[in-house]
Structure 1
């Protein structure tokens, strides 16, 4: 890996971290960047997962106090995310990926549509919060995040915006925190058993931490409706891109 490649991955990591916090689509930048420097698909996937742990760390360092009042349910969600990340990592390392990857574009597309329709869906739900369903949803999304990850943030946003009364700001922080946990436990497995390219992972992590740090203040200045619609549209674009690859 050349110095130029290292610097390019740092830059890609920064934009992946920033875009990942804002829209939940970090892998749209980071995964192709790793492929571009010559990593194979599996090596790029596991290296990306390891590097993207830094997004959550950067965002948490700059906004962790916002989660302080979430209470015991945050611990339940974190446990579900950790378990899901483990399952996703195992599936990637030992399973056949063809069938699962075939449905990924549809999962991302459904999440993007749900984000776009969130006000109407929440209006139908009224004041109800689906507390029992959230940990199950967190586990399922974390499985996907540990396995592949592209668009997992969009699915997390859809889950929290529809199943709870959390604001876009809080949903963004929760998404980053829980996806970071799923990535962390998956990354531990990949570090032991997977073909991680450590120099590329380091470069990605350096940029991703800075991008994650810049994410919370950036989201604060974007009007929630603009952000929601942007995430939904970009999510549909990501689903189309995944469907063609």
Structure 2
């Protein structure tokens, strides 16, 4: 890897760490750069997963205030993310690299629709509960959220691109909480999935240590930048950012 390639990977890692903390889809920045340096697709995917761990942890630390009071929720969803992430990592080594190419843009598009409609749907659900005098039977999302988070984590362990958008759409639909607090939870789930997949890859897959270290340092810096920026965004602005990033992700995934 030349010095210019190394600088490009580091810059991509910083950008990915920043955007992952705010919304997700940072892999769409790092993955093409790693491919451009000559790494094979699976090696690039594995190296990217390893390198993004510090960024996910850094972003979660940056959102630590929003994590207050979410311990039970994070434990439940974190266990589902761990199982799903491990399953996705295994699939990466078993399935052809093109296995998810058709379904991923559809998943991201559906997630964006849910993100856009989430305020109206949540308001309708809340009004219905008030009319019926009922309380939320599943304050942590119940079995449905656990199952869908695990499935989203399978995808995250396989490729990671746009998994944050999928997490936010699922939690936004099934949890009655602010978007910033859900984003904090998303960062923790992404860290769990990346760490689980990475530990698996350490023993069974080939990766490039130079790329891993460059992305790791860059993403850790980016995680702090993303937390400072993301925590200041209003729900409307943040939702707009999610839709813009998700739309770019769909275009890139479709054309790739």
Equivalents in 1 of 2:110, 2:216: separation in Å? 29
* Corresponding residue for residue 238 of structure 2: 227
Corresponding position: 1:88 with 2:99:
no
* Corresponding residue for residue 58 of structure 1: 58
Q: Is the 8 A contact 1:131 1:164 kept in 2?
A: no
Alpha-carbon distance, 1:169 to partner: 0.9
Q: Is the 8 A contact 2:88 2:158 kept in 1?
A: yes
Q: Which moved more, 1:210-219 or 1:90-99?
A: 90-99
Q: Is the 8 A contact 1:146 1:182 kept in 2?
A: yes
1:207 counterpart (210, 218, 236): 218
- What does the per-residue CA deviation read over 1:105-158, in whole Å, with 9 as the maximum and x for residues that have no partner? 100111011111111121232264532222112111110000011111110111
3-state DSSP of counterpart to 2:236:
helix
> Whose radius of gyration is greater, 1 or 2?
2
TM-score (structure 2 length as normaliser): 0.90
The root-mean-square deviation of aligned C-alpha atoms, in Å, is 1.6
* Corresponding residue for residue 133 of structure 2: none
- What does the per-residue CA deviation read over 1:8-43, in whole Å, with 9 as the maximum and x for residues that have no partner? 211111111101111211112111111121112111
Q: Is the 8 A contact 1:109 1:236 kept in 2?
A: yes
- What does the per-residue CA deviation read over 1:68-114, in whole Å, with 9 as the maximum and x for residues that have no partner? 31132321111111111100000001224444332111001110111
* Corresponding residue for residue 11 of structure 1: 11
Q: Which moved more, 1:123-132 or 1:138-147?
A: 123-132
| Count of equivalent residues | 245
Equivalents in 2 of 1:215, 1:95: separation in Å? 33
* Corresponding residue for residue 68 of structure 2: 68
Q: Is the 8 A contact 1:84 1:141 kept in 2?
A: yes
Corresponding position: 1:173 with 2:184:
yes
Structure 2: gaps spanning 5 or more residues: 130-135
Q: Is the 8 A contact 2:80 2:149 kept in 1?
A: yes
Q: Is the 8 A contact 1:173 1:216 kept in 2?
A: no
Q: Is the 8 A contact 1:112 1:233 kept in 2?
A: no
Corresponding position: 1:216 with 2:230:
no
3-state DSSP of counterpart to 1:221:
coil
Equivalents in 2 of 1:147, 1:49: separation in Å? 9
Equivalents in 2 of 1:60, 1:111: separation in Å? 22
Equivalents in 2 of 1:98, 1:27: separation in Å? 16
Alpha-carbon distance, 1:237 to partner: 2.5
Residues 1-245 of structure 1 correspond to what in structure 2 (within 5 A)?
A: 1-126=1-126, 128=136, 129=139, 130-245=141-256
Q: Is the 8 A contact 2:63 2:184 kept in 1?
A: yes
Alpha-carbon distance, 1:190 to partner: 1.2
Alpha-carbon distance, 1:193 to partner: 1.2
- What does the per-residue CA deviation read over 1:171-215, in whole Å, with 9 as the maximum and x for residues that have no partner? 111111101100101011111111211110110010000111122
TM-score (structure 1 length as normaliser): 0.94
Q: Is the 8 A contact 2:20 2:56 kept in 1?
A: no
